[in-house]
Amino acid sequence: EVQLVESGGGLVQPGGSLRLSCAASGFTFSTYAMNWVRQAPGKGLEWISYISGPSNTIYYADSVKGRFTISRDNAKNSLYLQMNGLRDEDTAVYYCARVWIAATTVDYWGQGTLVTVSS
């Protein structure tokens, strides 16, 4: 059974940093690209970042470029999102998601982890 479990969310002050993790199981992690997608409270979905299986292709949304860094450790079946320079508008539930076919096609999602940026 495919499972994606996010962790690392919490309350952080504006300008602070946080590192999200996503533990994957039930599939050969290294052969799948992964996305981070977020959803602000009461708002729609926003794609944040994409990383290919071997980490040689990475994309970021303009809203996080230069502040967030996506990475993965295929030996540990884990996906990461390092978030620096956090802003109020980064408050959201962050989902890790397995890519299927193409970057826009996600077949499995984690349960999400809440990041709250507030002073």
Partner 1 sequence: QSVLTQPPSASGTPGQRVTISCSGSSSNIGSNTVNWYQQLPGTAPKLLIYSDNQRPSGVPDRFSGSKSGTSASLAISGLQSEDEADYYCVVWDDSLNGRVVFGGGTRLTVL
Rounded to a whole number of angstroms, the minimum distance from the CB of residue 94 to partner 1 is 11
Interatomic CA distance for residues 45 and 35, integer angstroms: 12
Candidates 7-15, 21-29, 56-64, 76-84: pick the segment binding partner 1 (CB under 8 A): 56-64
Rounded to a whole number of angstroms, the minimum distance from the CB of residue 75 to partner 1 is 26
112 binds partner 1 (CB under 8 A): yes
Tell me how far CA of residue 77 lies from CA of 10, 17, 59, 90, 91, in angstroms: 22, 23, 20, 26, 26
- Contact status, residue 4 vs residue 98, Cβ threshold 8 Å: yes
> Hey, which residues between 61 and 100 contact partner 1 (CB under 8 A)?
61-62, 95, 100
Among 32, 47, 80, 94, binds partner 1 (CB under 8 A): 47
Interatomic CA distance for residues 105 and 76, integer angstroms: 24
29 binds partner 1 (CB under 8 A): no
Among 41, 66, 101, 119, binds partner 1 (CB under 8 A): 101
Tell me how far CA of residue 74 lies from CA of 12, 22, 55, 84, 118, in angstroms: 28, 12, 9, 23, 33
Q: Which residues bind partner 1 (CB under 8 A)?
A: 35, 37, 44-47, 50, 59, 61-62, 95, 100-107, 109-112
